Structure 1
């Protein structure tokens, strides 16, 4: 059975870090994805959790009767500015240690370079890999990477080529449903070429910003360098989940007990509890339908 995990981001303003495990269990989840949090692994900066906090979190997880499926750092390891990249590599080393100390063997992340400096960002990414791949392989950790909108690589097929170029079986791809249209609206093809190497899927919906001749969303002035995407509840947008799940079944994701499927909705904090339960039930129904 695929691991169905909760992204606790919608609850950051109402719950503390150590309350997340019990919250996840209360909402019917058996797994938690530890996304960026100011007390543990914040966005872009050095991890703030010390060994004592990591032990407390590990105990809270055990007491709640759930597990942490993955950690999710967002650090600028593809930053085209060398000082930024070097700092991100240092932060990554601490993230790897925290992940291992939590008893977790999976990390989801992003490329985190810049689209206007794509060539420099790719060089920076592979430079970081030279230092981090041996550490990640030694720890036995799997790292899955999401081609996020506004990154140096956004197209899904191009992202897989970059990941494949690392030449390590410890690396694979995160497929984010609400990034479908930025990745080229080709889920079947992406999931086919990355067969066996998609380890995490983020479940959320979005409207198709390319529809209506690109006028589904209008920004002023026209041509702004913006990326419009949403993380809506399943069924609230244009993503074809049946097509996506057919691809996930064909590439073996749905039959792999180590696969992680994470609820990743950020648009309904005002009813986060109801939304989280809805998401879990919707994911369970989609898995059952396509299993």
Structure 2
């Protein structure tokens, strides 16, 4: 049966890294996805966890009875400039080592390139994978990637083509529901195409920026290149949750023991406990 994990990002400002497992357990979650944190693996920078931090976090998770099925780092592995890409590869090597030390079998991440330099970013991604993929495969890990809004590839099907080009069963896709409309709103066709290479599903709601003739929400000045999306609680946006979970059920994802669904609402930190409990209850209903 698929697992449900909490993304602890809303709690980063009020709890230490070592408090996250207890928070997840208190809210009813059995699993936690470790996301970028200043004391572990900050955005775009070298990881800051040493052996003591690893041991303390491992103990905190064990004491709370919470599993850590995945870690989410964000590094510029597809950056079109070499100094940043090389630093990202160096950082990612350490992240792989940390995942192994924590017995975390899955790394979920993003491409982290630039849409205005898509060809160069794709080439940079493949250069990085020439170095990182052998390590991922050697350690028996799974690396899943999300085509995030404002990345060199945003369309879900085109991103799958990029990942498929690596020709490795260790590579999978992170489907982020709040990125649905940047992906092309194609859950019913994309998810069956991914099959067992679907590695994780993140669940937060968002508005469809194509609706109301492009005025579903407004960013000024008109015509700017900003990408806007939300991470709202389920039901507060335009994602078709029945369609999404019916498709996940049809492809067998909800029955997979290695399946992972992550609650990642970021828009309501003031009511994080209430929202996290709501998400868990609603996800259990959707899973059925």
Smaller-chain TM-score bracket? over 0.9
- Residue 52 of structure 1: aligned partner: 52
Name the SS for the 1:196 alignment partner. Answer: helix
In the comparison of the two structures, how many residue pairs are matched?
A: 288
The alpha carbon displacement at 1:48 in A equals: 0.5
Distance across 1 between alignment mates of 2:64 and 2:219: 45
Partner of 1:110: 110
Give deviations 1:139-183, integer Å, cap 9, x for gaps.
000011001000000000001001101111000000000100000
User: Aligned-pair distance for 1:250?
Assistant: 2.1
Question: Could you tell me how far 1:107 is from its partner in structure 2?
Answer: 0.7
1:145 corresponds in structure 2 to 145
Q: What's 2:169 paired with?
A: 169
Indicate yes or no: 2:200 matched with 1:200.
yes
- Displacement, 1:121? 0.2
Structure 1: which 5+ residue stretches go unaligned? none
SS at structure 1 position matched to 2:200 = strand
Find the counterpart in structure 2 of residue 222 from structure 1: 222
Runs (4+) of structure 1 exceeding 6 A deviation are none
Q: Could you give the per-residue CA deviations for residues 211-243 of structure 1, whole angstroms, max 9, x where no partner exists? A: 011111222221101111000000000000111
Match of 1:184 in 2: 184
Is structure 2 residue 80 aligned with structure 1 residue 85? no
Cα distance between partner residues in 1 of 2:199 and 2:253: 7
In structure 2, the residue matched to 1:32 is 32
Q: Secondary structure at the match of 2:39?
A: coil
SS in 2 for 1:195: helix
> TM-score scaled by structure 2?
0.99
What secondary structure sits across from 1:173 in the alignment? strand
TM-score, normalised with respect to structure 1: 0.98
CA RMSD of aligned residues (A): 0.7
Aligned to 1:211: 211
- Corresponding residue SS for 2:168: coil
After TM superposition, give the deviation of residue 99 of structure 1 in Å: 0.6
Shift of 1:249: 1.4
- 1:86 & 1:250 partners in 2: Cα distance? 41
1:256 counterpart = 2:256 = yes
Distance 1:42 1:85 in 2: 16
Q: What is the DSSP-based 3-state SS (H/G/I as helix, E as strand, rest coil) of the residue aligned with 2:19? A: helix
2:156 alignment partner in structure 1: 156
Residue 252 of structure 1 deviates from its aligned partner by 2.1
| Match in the other structure for 1:240 | 240
CA distance in 1, matches of 2:174, 2:220: 32
